[in-house]
Structure 1
Amino acid sequence: MEDLRAYQPLRQLFAELVGRVFWNKPIELRDREVLLYLCDLLTRFTRMDRIYRLRDARGRRLEEVAEMLMEADVLLNARSFHQEREVHKHIGDFTLFWTGVYPEALRLLRHPTRKDHLIDYVQQGKRSYYIASTFEEGEWRKESRILRRLSHEFEICSFGLNLVRREWEKMGDPTYRLIMEAFEDWEG
């Protein structure tokens, strides 16, 4: 996993928001490892170079799931099973991020002129997380359980990430900040 210490304040904010949204109704997903994974995903994907980190053999940035799938296939472009796993994990992250945090972008990502036009991001995300979860050897053992859970709970996680986004958007609202400050004064 990537070292996210430089992003600690941002990661703490995401941890608070993810905990608040996922721990309570209507979601009630209380798997600590999955929630930490989602915090890390949000933290990593604050940088565009992490969202679009995959490259083909020529070094060209891969921006569409269809292209990523070609890089994940050992019979086509994947040079190893390690690459296959990492690409499928990234496809799961990529599709979960867009379907959850910015679903309005799907209209552009799946525009009829794009290769992703016929790809169902939810189904492909679930499938890719599942494929990545089948690599259970050594260093991947712990994460394989998390990826399998993300595959099974993809829609719930997507919905929850959308609620997390709504929460952080509220934080910019001056009225919301006044209410939260008053609440903190009342609690404290």
Structure 2
Amino acid sequence: MAPESNGLQSFFEDVVTHCFRAHTPVEDPELTGYVAGLLAHFSATEQLYPLQNAEGQPVRSLGLMLMASDPVHGRASSFDEERKMRKHIGDFALFSTGMYPESTHRYAEDATFTELVRTGKESYYIVSQFDLFEYAKEAALFAKLTEQFDTCRYGLTKVSETLNQMNGPKLLM
């Protein structure tokens, strides 16, 4: 995930690294860096729902996001587009279930917490299978995100608690 802002990225890297070290067995700078980048990326609320319906409104339905990601029957015009959409779905699921587990119904109108977790893992797994050419280097990271999804989600709940205690940035509040 590309840094959205060096200052914000650095802040989130510090908080994520601290919380993950204190509360999870994850000590992988690549993984914590990705999660920090995810927070920086989603600090711009328009990044949560990049897909739009025919009326130009953001698609908030997990089911519609999944249908759109289908390269055969959906809006994904290629397997590269499918990967991009699935990566977003995985990121969206990790972010919403980690930072706001009590409010997942607000972020994905038609999905339960359990469905978001399952779909997040599945989406990261699909992204990890794109392991050729320009995606070969990132494939292992997405395999780790698949395996460590629950741990990263738990770590994000600790990040959310820490930010609330610090009176830190209010993401999507």
d(CA) in 2 for partners of 1:156 and 1:115? Answer: 24
**Offset of residue 31 of structure 1:** 1.3
Could you say which residue in structure 2 is the equivalent of 1:121? 116
d(CA) in 2 for partners of 1:74 and 1:56? Answer: 17
- Give the conservation status (yes or no) of the 8 Å contact 2:9–2:37: yes
- Give the conservation status (yes or no) of the 8 Å contact 2:19–2:159: yes
d(CA) in 1 for partners of 2:63 and 2:140? Answer: 26
**Offset of residue 108 of structure 1:** 3.5
SS in structure 1 opposite 2:111?
helix
1:14-57 alpha-carbon deviations (Å, 9 max, x no partner): 11111101123x30201111111001000000011111112357
SS in structure 1 opposite 2:50?
coil
SS in structure 2 opposite 1:115?
coil
Could you say which residue in structure 1 is the equivalent of 2:171? none
**Offset of residue 83 of structure 1:** 0.7
Could you say which residue in structure 1 is the equivalent of 2:28? 31
SS in structure 1 opposite 2:65?
helix
Q: Does 1:79 align with 2:74?
A: no
Task: For structure 2, list consecutive stretches of 5 or more residues without a partner in the other structure.
Answer: 169-173
Letter in 1 for 2:42: F
Task: For structure 1, list consecutive stretches of 5 or more residues without a partner in the other structure.
Answer: 174-188
Letter in 1 for 2:62: V
Normalising by structure 1, report the TM-score.
0.81
Q: How many residues align?
A: 167
> CA RMSD for the aligned pairs?
2.1
SS in structure 2 opposite 1:120?
helix
Letter in 2 for 1:133: S
- Give the conservation status (yes or no) of the 8 Å contact 1:56–1:71: no
Question: Which of 157, 161, 171 is 1:162 aligned to?
Answer: 157
Could you say which residue in structure 2 is the equivalent of 1:69? 66
Change (3 A) 1:153 1:119: closer
Normalising by structure 2, report the TM-score.
0.87
d(CA) in 2 for partners of 1:80 and 1:58? Answer: 23
Q: Does 1:147 align with 2:145?
A: no
Question: Which of 85, 95, 98 is 1:97 aligned to?
Answer: 95
More contact order relative to length (CA 8 Å, sep ≥ 6): 2
Higher gyration radius (CA): 1
- Give the conservation status (yes or no) of the 8 Å contact 1:14–1:42: yes
Letter in 2 for 1:100: G
SS in structure 1 opposite 2:73?
coil
Change (3 A) 1:108 1:56: closer
1:147-175 alpha-carbon deviations (Å, 9 max, x no partner): 111111111100100101111111129xx
Q: Which 10-residue stretch deviates more, 88-97 or 99-108?
A: 99-108
Change (3 A) 1:84 1:58: farther
